[in-house]
Every structure is written in structure tokens, then in C-alpha cells.
Chains A and B, each alone.
Chain A
């Protein structure tokens, strides 16, 4: 399996996600945002970080990069795309995923481990969560408060387009387990065709038991089943 990690000025989780992909024997290439062609890839990853310093709106300036039109073509052909944190914000700004990401409800940066309920396991990214659908992953963001109109939220729910929701350790989804104010506790969503996943938590940061957990591993191992 082949992957491409797109590097924007200000990306800072590019190395971390490349390490995770390689750990699962996915052959990875780093792709600079000014490139005009995409190497042959099964999956394109938009990493976390602060592309362009988060200036203007998070993800907005990166979404104007040359490589983005290639990524859109890749998506239209059914190729997989994973956007993590700032990558999720870029996917939204480039119109590949709906909704928007607002500042956290408490108006401050939040870095902590949270519990997630895996809501949809029938997709290319989440199949290995079938045996464990309540997981723990770190979040680290300032703008992760997912917001959408009621109609859109309903559509996402009806189409099974929500991948992860913030929960407590027993999988209960409530206001108390919502760290950033996201509508319906949404932590990650899929597009209609389920080939694009955007998520705020960082699976690449927990892939090793020595790092207090390895729940992130199952996302990468799921990719290999494609």
C-alpha cells in the first residue's frame, strides 16, 4: 500500500504520521505543497499542525495550495484521504468535507487525552475498531468545535457519516464528555462515499504501548485491509 503525506509550511505532525504509516508497512512519500502532481497513492494524508500559522482561518490558506486540486482529483476517483486535526480543517476549507470547525467552546487550546466512541466501523479507516469501539486518543487543538446546520447534522447522522464521537470511558455521549462544544459530540466525519475521513483527535500519537496507549494503531491497521 502507498501513501502520500502532504507537507504545508507550518505542518508539524507530518513526521509523526509518516512514522505511523511506515510502522504499518505503508510505503510513504512526503509531498511538498507546491508540487503539481501527486505520486501514485492509495491514501493521501493531510497532517496536523498550523499550516500558515493558522492565520486568517485555520486550514484556509493551505486549501489554496497547488497540490489541493490534485487531491480533489484523487478523491473524485475514489482514492482515500485522511485529514487529522489541521488536515481536517484543510479538508473542510477545500470543500471535501462539509461543516466548519469553530474555536473551542472554552476559547482556549486543549491538549489532553479523550475517549471516543467509534460510531461507524464499516469504512476503510475504522474496520479494525470492531472489537474495541471505545478508544482513547489525544486531542490538541484550538479550533475543533465542529459546527453545522441542523439539516446537515441530520444528514450526517442519517448517512452514517459520523465516524467518531467524544464520549466517556463507558461510551456514553453527553455534554460532560464533550471537550470542545462540537455539535452532537462529533470528533470525526466521513464524506458520503466514505473515502474521506477528517478527525480532530490524533491517532498517530498513540501507536506504541510505551506512550500510554496504542488505540491509534487500529486506524492504520484498518487501512491495510483495503
Chain B
């Protein structure tokens, strides 16, 4: 049967791509083979639009054990311990079915971690929704949150950080980005690269059903008369099965029977088998009759493209099959020898004694297309005048307005649905600058954060890209950890549009500049394009997940004010940048202008100085200053520490609004006891760090220079109000 142009198009393959395939393979394809190409050559697997730019990111330093290209990145955290981590998006499935979409997103990223031999120890997430008043938002938010919780809680892995943001650009394209972090030993890392001919290929985990068979498969009834049966079904997550798979895999990994291992994620059996074999420069032969199937009469096409969850592909050392099988049987999981490695450099599939596909592996992986898409530079915004007359506003009213907005409100309604204390090693729960978990059985800790600043990136992608990396760095520093590396999830619109591609290219430029300067490499990540509906694209949203090491947990830090009558210092210079600030956006509804500039020297210098102060036990509390400026940061410190503050605004060339709400970068608020002031002053001056003492802590209330006086109790109620009233609790 010759494949019609319509079917090729429905598989998302362009005419010129199909021509290229014919040249590579040397003949026409059958439908199964077309499906395989469609899975391997799509944007998600091939990174065809992004590859050129991803290559420019810094990915190495002396801490990096494994950079991008594996299931997850790995960094050295000393004492033979290694940290494995990655972030991934599950945006579209979460919009279709929020609970299952988010749940399987968490499941997928966890498999990426334990595939590499690491026991997952923490989860984080960044979720973006449309306008809260949009009719879909309420259900999407509650569905996603309970889906994330449902999966992570059942797996028994603490969710220790994240962010929740709202903006109308996400009305029809929500973002669900999940990050997972695992711990292993440096000499116990497992990779996906196959090695050796004639080694058994093993399928383990749950059975294969018709879950999430990609859109193309239901393209037409030409495939089958039974149209209803062809509909792609939503992937349903089974966290219980995954918990068993986790324990079984880790049990098997105790000895050395695994040659390589790869989870079956997007494009399931197709991408896992292709990746393992092509990385090892081998061939692979699979007998599809051996695939454990959940439904009757599943076709090779369905088996190869199913995205059923909780499955893994292993290549074992020949002779280890029986021992391995015992482990998987004990955990009640399927175990099936489905094929072997070969020296043909081809993917060969057999079904009912007939060869149903035979493709050169290079055509699926290294010869997949790479595009140099056209892109347009974002022109710097014209000189814009700030809105007039805002200086007559009442500071307290402005503060209340910011604190009661959905983006700035306290998120405990969300955090409380995630188990944050299971595993018994959680030092800092969600809500601080970074989450902190202890390395089990040791006195060292891992700090983790996840950040995005989409409206900065929209206004200026280069600055935005830099800023979001710096904010991640700062959040790690604020808890006393030495930042190590990041993982990034790049969420954008349609890259075939020059303007969108421009956002992507320039954001990467910004990320790259900041990462290089801060020696903060990118070790894993994911690109999600085509987040747009009816030509409305989302804001460019790079999400950055950062990890840091706390060598001695006795010197970790949080943002809670600790004592009355200590000094409050602002580290870093406040010049009062209000464009793109929460104050302009939430209070004045003014959205023009450029984001605050990022000075990488100051970022690094201020950060390292903060780490120095924390390591010498000279500060009581530290908080990074980000959206909302000094005032919002101070309120957060007061509420979490249940201690007030009395502030005197320094007499300089900026007005009160600029001082209190400006979002200049590289700044922190620190709390210092009087007895330590001399030493702190000396260390900061030695390192040329600009700082201002703005006041003292006090009991129960916040008092800003007599222009804003509020009780902590009422501030706490205001910041907690939004979610409760949204869900009428």
C-alpha cells in the first residue's frame, strides 16, 4: 500500500521531510515505519528547531558528571554522592485532562531519574494558568494540583518547592513543568547507551495499551473500520505501579546485570529502542509478539507508538535474565524478553513471523532534520515615560493590592496538597527561597528552586533570560547553598514564526551569558514549542530549576525574621526600577517598558558575600528581593518569622515608591544582630558590596517611615486571602 500525501501530512511530516526519508531509507515506507519516523522526527524527540541554539549553552564544569543527552543530568556533590535531576513539560496533556496530564508528567520525570540509578528525593513544579476569571482556569488549577499531588504523594517523594502563576496568555495553553531530583553514588550511575551484540532486550513494568497514541494514528478510518477504537486515549497514570517499578529497578541495580536502561516516555517503545541502539552504534531486533499488551488485537503500529506509562526498556548482560525476572515478579510487574541487540545498525521489527519494519537507525536519529529557522530580533522598547501621578497613592493600599493579587498571594492552598515531609529529610518546605532536603544519613543538604519570569522575557528576552538564571542562583544562595547547576524547560509558541523564534534565540542568549558568568551549567532540559492556540502565543517562559549544595546543615538559612531589635540591611543597590514591576502591573495596570537590567558582576559578588556571611554565622535571616521589591520581601520575612519591622527610607535621589517597590536585581534583605554589625560591615566593605541599613525588627507590626503602618496579623490574612476566596473555602 502506497501511503497517501494526506496520511503523511497527518503524521506531521512535511513533503520535503518525506523526500529526505525516502533518500535515507532507499524506498517507500509502510504505515508502521511512517509512524516511527513521525515520532522520531517530531519537534519533541528531534529538537529540530532548537538544536542549533541549545548547543550554545554552557554544559560543563568540574562538577558535571553528565550533561544534556541522557535521561537526566548528573552533578558531583562530593563524598562519592551524585545528584541526578531534570525538568520536563507536560503542557498539552494537562490542558486536555488536568489531573491525568499533570500526574503522568510527574510520573515521567520520576522515571527519568530512577532510570539513571538514583532514588528520587524531591519534586518541584512550575505551573502557569490563564486569567483566574477565564472559565477554564479554576478546574484546570485544581485538577493539575491534585494530579501532581496524587502522583508524587503516592510515590512517597516530597514536593518541596515550586511556583504558581497566572496570566491571560496561558488561557488556552497552561504550562505544567515538573522537576525531579534523585540521589545516587558516583559509581552507580546507569546510562541508556547499549553495548555488545546479542544481548537480551527486556521490557518491564506495566502492560501496553492504546494510551496516548499520537494524534496521527487516528487520522483516518483508512487504518481500520472500527474508528472508535482508534481514538487516542488519554494516558492514565498509575503511581502505584510506578512505585513498584521504582523499587524493582533499584533492587536490580544493586548488582551489575544491567548494561543499559531507558524509560519509555514520549513515543514509548520507538524512541527508547532507537535511542539505546543508536547511542551504542548497534542495531536492535524486536519481536512484537512478546510485548505485554493490555488490550486484545493490538497492532504493531499501536505497540510502537503507545505512550502507556510506567514501562522501561533494559538491556541485560546475557545470562542474568532469570535473576532479574525474579525481582520483577516479586513486585508483580511484567517482564518480557522482547528482542536482542544486533550489529546491523538497523531497527528490525517482527510480528507473527513477518518482518514489519526495517529501518537504518541513523535515519531516525543522527540524520533527522535540523532547522536553522528564521528569527527576528526583539527591538529594545522605545523610551517610555512612566505613568504620572502615582506618587499621591497610599503605600499601604498599594501593598494590600499587590499581596491580594493571585500572583503574589501566599500559595499554601497549593502546597498543602503536596506531601512535603515524607522521607523525613525535609529541612525547608515550599514557601521559602529554596526547598532544602538533607542527604539521607548525612549532615549535608541539597537546596532546590524553580523559577520563571515570563513578563520580563516578553519585554526583553535577553535580559529576561539572564534574570531568571540569576534569580535561581539568588534563591539558592539565600538558603546558604553553593549553586551547582541548572536544568531548563523552555516553553514557547510556534517556532515557525520569526518573532517567536526570535524570543527563543534571544532568551537562550541571555541564559547562556548568565550561566557562563556564574559558572552555573545547564545539565538537562526540555523544549516545549507550539504553545499557542488560535494564533495567541504564550509569553516566552523559560523555567529554570536550580540545585545547590549545603556542605554543613548547621549553616543553612531561611527567610524568617528571628529576633526583635536586630538590624535590617539591604544588600545591593536600589535604584528604583519600576517598569515591569508588580507595582506597575498590579496597581497601575501599566505593562510597558523594559525589565530591570542584570549586572552579572554584582550578582556574583553580592551572592558570594551572602554565602560568606552565612558560613560565618553572622546573619539571622536572608531573603532575596524579587517581584514586589523590598516591601513585599520584607512583609514575607515578617509573616514567616512572626516579627515586625520598623523601617526608615534612606534619603537619596529616589522616591518612596521606587525604593519600596523597585525590582532592581542582585539584592537581598538580611537580618543582623547588633553584635555582628561591625564584622558584617567589614566583610561587605572588603568585597565592595553596596548595602544600606534601613531599620530594625520589632514586635508585631510593620512600620515604614510613618507612611505605612500595619499589624502582622492583618498582613497575614491579606496574603492568605486570595486562594481561599477563589475556591470559596
Contacts and interface: CB of A to CB of B under 8 A. Distances in A.
Interface in A42-58: 48-50, 52-55
B239 A109 contact: no
Contact of B423 (A15, A20, A108): A15
Interface residues of A, number: 31
Contacts of B154: 10, 12, 50, 53-54
A110 B417 contact: yes
A210 B427 contact: yes
A210 B553 contact: yes
Contacts of B419: 109, 111, 140
A106 to B, nearest CB: 6
Contacts of A54: 154, 240
A204 interface: yes
B331 interface: yes
A108 B146 CA distance: 8
Given A10-B243, A13-B156, A15-B423, A109 B417 contact: yes
A111 B427 contact: no
Nearest to A32: B330
Given A49-B156, A210-B553, A111 B240 contact: no
Interface in A163-211: 202, 204-205, 207, 210-211
A19 interface: yes
Interface in B365-423: 412, 415-423
A26 to B, nearest CB: 16
Contacts of A111: 153, 415-421
Contacts of B420: 111, 140
A211 B438 CA distance: 9
Given A111-B415, A211-B427, A12 B156 contact: yes
Contacts of A109: 146, 149-150, 153, 416-419
Contacts of A12: 154-156, 243, 422
B438 A110 contact: no
Contact of A19 (B146, B239, B424): B424
B597 interface: no
A207 B438 CA distance: 14
A138 interface: yes
Contacts of B244: 9-10
Contacts of B215: none
Given A109-B149, A140-B153, A202-B421, A55 B426 contact: no
Interface string A137-163: 010101000000000000000000000
Which of B331, B422, B729 is the most central at the interface, judged by chain A CB atoms within 10 Å of its CB?
Answer: B422
Nearest to A107: B146
B238 interface: yes
Contacts of A27: none
A73 to B, nearest CB: 25
A212 B424 CA distance: 11
A108 B239 contact: no
Contacts of B240: 9-10, 50, 52-55
A16 interface: yes
Interface string B524-566: 0000000000000000000000000000010000000000000
Nearest to A12: B156
B729 A13 contact: no
Interface in A32-87: 48-50, 52-55
Interface in B420-446: 420-427, 438
Contact of B416 (A10, A50, A110, A207): A110
30 contacts: A9-B243, A9-B332, A10-B154, A12-B156, A12-B422, A13-B156, A16-B423, A16-B424, A19-B424, A20-B424, A48-B422, A50-B156, A50-B243, A53-B238, A53-B239, A53-B241, A54-B154, A109-B149, A109-B153, A109-B416, A111-B153, A111-B420, A140-B420, A140-B421, A205-B422, A205-B424, A210-B438, A210-B553, A211-B427, A212-B427
Interface residues of B, number: 32
A147 to B, nearest CB: 21
Interface string A95-134: 0000000000010111110000000000000000000000
A138 B239 CA distance: 23
Interface in A1-25: 9-10, 12-13, 15-16, 19-20
B244 to A, nearest CB: 6
Contacts of B153: 50, 109, 111, 140, 142
A50 B152 CA distance: 11
B427 A106 contact: no
A170 to B, nearest CB: 15
Contacts of A52: 240
B422 A50 contact: no
B333 to A, nearest CB: 10
Closest 5 pairs between A and B when the two form their complex, measured CB to CB? A12-B156, A53-B240, A16-B424, A140-B419, A50-B154
B666 to A, nearest CB: 30
Nearest to A108: B417
B417 A50 contact: no
Nearest to A106: B729
A211 B426 contact: yes
Contacts of A205: 421-422, 424
A137 B425 CA distance: 14
Nearest to B156: A12
A210 B444 CA distance: 11
Given A9-B243, A110-B416, 15 more contacts: A10-B154, A16-B424, A49-B156, A50-B156, A50-B243, A53-B238, A53-B243, A55-B240, A108-B146, A111-B415, A111-B418, A140-B153, A140-B420, A204-B424, A205-B424
Which of A9, A52, A202 is the most central at the interface, judged by chain B CB atoms within 10 Å of its CB?
Answer: A9
A77 B419 CA distance: 36
Which of B153, B156, B415, B553 is the most central at the interface, judged by chain A CB atoms within 10 Å of its CB?
Answer: B156
Contacts of A19: 424
Nearest to B243: A10
Nearest to B119: A15
Interface in B685-729: 729
A37 to B, nearest CB: 18
Nearest to B332: A9
Which of A9, A12, A19 is the most central at the interface, judged by chain B CB atoms within 10 Å of its CB?
Answer: A12
Nearest to A47: B156
Contacts of B427: 210-212
B239 A50 contact: yes
Nearest to A11: B156
Nearest to B428: A212
